[in-house]
Amino acid sequence: MVFQSLEDGFNFYKQYAALAGFDIRKSTNLKVSGVVVWRYVVCNREGHKHFASTCNKPTHDDGDLPKAKQRRRISNRVDCKARVAFRLTGGVGYSISSFIESHNHPMIVLQVDKKEHTLTFVVQDSRDMVVNVEHSTLEGSFFCTCKYWQRIGLLCRHIFLVFKGLRIKLIPERYITNRWCKTPLLKPLIDVSGLDFTSESSVDENKLMLNRLRSNIHSCVALIENNPELLCAFSKVITEQKELIQSVVSSQDAGTGEPNLFENYCGVPAPSVIKVLPPQPAHNKGSGKRIKSAKELQIEQSKKNKRLCRTCKELAYEYFDIILLFSYKHLIFFC
């Protein structure tokens, strides 16, 4: 088999790898006068993980280098020998010079069964569990025997593996549910008649429209900032539109405000005079006890026994209080 270019040969081997259940990558090549005459395409798990040598290099313990953060990465390379070699023949095209089929690791897709309108993939995951993934070419549906989609509502890794083999880059619309999206369906907390909650939220579209509107307004202001006549006319138009929007919004809020929602839910109008008010807030947050009044505190203070002064032998003063009072009087006298 002769291919006109290396890209055609690579795509051919890539299709074979997708059906067999492994990935490929381009390896070494040989060039003569700038023309590739030899190209190896190997299994993605070929070779071993390369480790950087630390011999004769300054270390972090020496204080020469700052401490570097290294992430631990798990290598999937197991020195697989499966490969194909393309060689330039007679300047016409590239032919397969060597082909090694055997792998030293289990395939991800073990088998593919083709029926009339159904493809059945036998998939083996990292836990050595074998499942069947059925793909209907007519309906565009996928079914996995692990039933992860039926139980949780998310596509399993086996179906994503089939997506990769079939080169499906976008998830089908039927598997994009509002439950896991950023804009879920609006659902009412209470059942209110006359209001439609079935419309889907459009938060992203509103943000896009707001950004465009702000950009247009700033662009207009930048164009006419040096022209007083156009600036006055633009300001007049903006003011008129603002008044019109305020009237429209106020009329809409009159029928869909928060009081009307509760009136529709309860079935009775709101009273004109509110007789029942919320209780006064308490100021005992964090204390855990009742706050005593000033009168109670004074009574408790009067019941305490007074200390006997060591200087005048009376119960009204304390020795340190007399010293402080005496020093304070002398300070006033000298001032």
Tens digit of pLDDT for each residue in 90-146?
777 888 888 888 777 665 665 677 888 888 888 877 666 788 899 888 888 999 999
Q: Is 200 contained in some domain?
A: yes
Q: Quote the tokens at residue 260.
A: 């009307």
128 and 216 co-located in one domain: no
- What lies within 8 Å, CB to CB, of 306 at 6+ separation is 315, 316
On the question of pLDDT at 79 being above 70, the answer is: yes
229 and 156 co-located in one domain: no
Reported pTM? 0.34
Name the least confident of 43-47, 283-287, 301-305: 283-287
Provide the β-strand partners of residue 112: 121
Q: Is 253 contained in some domain?
A: no
140 and 155 co-located in one domain: yes
101 and 6 co-located in one domain: yes
171 and 188 co-located in one domain: no
35 and 99 co-located in one domain: yes
141 and 83 co-located in one domain: no
In this prediction, residue 29 has a pLDDT band, given cuts at 50, 70 and 90, of confident
95 and 30 co-located in one domain: yes
On the question of pLDDT at 192 being above 80, the answer is: no
Q: In whole angstroms, what is the distance from residue 201 CA to residue 183 CA?
A: 6
Q: Is 260 contained in some domain?
A: no
Name the least confident of 44-48, 57-61, 95-99, 133-137: 57-61
42 and 133 co-located in one domain: no
Q: Is 258 contained in some domain?
A: no
Mean pLDDT of the chain: 76
Q: In whole angstroms, what is the distance from residue 50 CA to residue 71 CA?
A: 14
Q: Which amino acid is at 151?
A: R
Q: Is 264 contained in some domain?
A: no
Structural domain including 36 reads 1-48+76-105
44 and 1 co-located in one domain: yes
**Number of domains the chain contains:** 3
Taking residues 246-269, report their average pLDDT.
74
Taking residues 34-43, report their average pLDDT.
87
Q: How many residues does the chain have?
A: 335
Q: In whole angstroms, what is the distance from residue 270 CA to residue 255 CA?
A: 14
Q: Is 27 contained in some domain?
A: yes
Q: What is the pLDDT of residue 142?
A: 92
99 and 4 co-located in one domain: yes
On the question of pLDDT at 203 being above 70, the answer is: no
- What lies within 8 Å, CB to CB, of 31 at 6+ separation is 37
CA atoms within 13 A on the CB side of 245: 6
Q: Is 203 contained in some domain?
A: yes
Q: What is the pLDDT of residue 295?
A: 93
192 and 213 co-located in one domain: yes
The pLDDT > 90 percentage for the chain reads: 6
Tens of pLDDT along 273-293? 888 888 887 766 666 677 789
Q: Is 329 contained in some domain?
A: no
In this prediction, residue 200 has a pLDDT band, given cuts at 50, 70 and 90, of very low
Q: What is the pLDDT of residue 276?
A: 87
Taking residues 66-92, report their average pLDDT.
73
